[in-house]
Amino acid sequence: MTRIAVLVSGGGTNLQALIDARATFPDAELALVLSSNPDAYALKRAQSVGIDTVVVNKKDWPDRVAFTRAILDKLTEQRIDLVVLAGFMFVLSPEFCRVYENRVINIHPALIPSFCGDGMYGLRPHQAALDYGVKLTGATVHFVSPETDGGPIIAQRALDILPDDTAERLQRRVMEQCEWPLLCEAVRLYSAGALTVRGRIVHIDR
């Protein structure tokens, strides 16, 4: 059984998608929700369905290295196999990626390598896609590496940009049609032992 920790900072809509889809990945357990924010609504989502929660408040630690080690300590205590970043608003130190190499999954609201990297979060990737005039956008689920949004790509899903799209409308459509199903599928594939990484290529044995 793959024990999963979901790292959050805010409302937890991606976490809710995982909670709702739990039956589709029977080889995994949502074992822990770890929040950098004690007031994150995601904590209530987890607690309402009996998932253990813990807060590691960024404000309690002097720097990124200490913050990262505090999180690693909690993950080790809980014997976590896979980490899912679901609206987690901090970039952790490279030590995190070394300890959990190819065991940290993130979802990005664009088709990497477009509209990604430092500072590209929230509405920004969607506004960038609209400003550039691309006809397709979507989401990418990938393993996390020290380079922001630079890890091996697990899967991508695209949708058409519509003439009346705003950044807010596009964000909602990408989230519902691309991010949520991609993230749940990636967790299912990982927990079923169907993902193999060679270099930066992810091979999927369905």
Alpha helical stretches, state H, 137-177: 167-174
Cα–Cα nearest to 171, from 105, 87, 46: 87
Q: From residue 58, how far is each of 80, 113, 166 by CA, in Å?
A: 20, 29, 33
Q: What are phi and psi of 102, to 5 degrees?
A: 55, 30
- Just list the catalytic residues: 108
Residue 204, H or E segment: strand 201-204
Sign for the CA dihedral angle at 35, 166, 21, 141 comes to: negative
Side-chain half-sphere of 96: how many Cα atoms within 13 Å?
Answer: 28
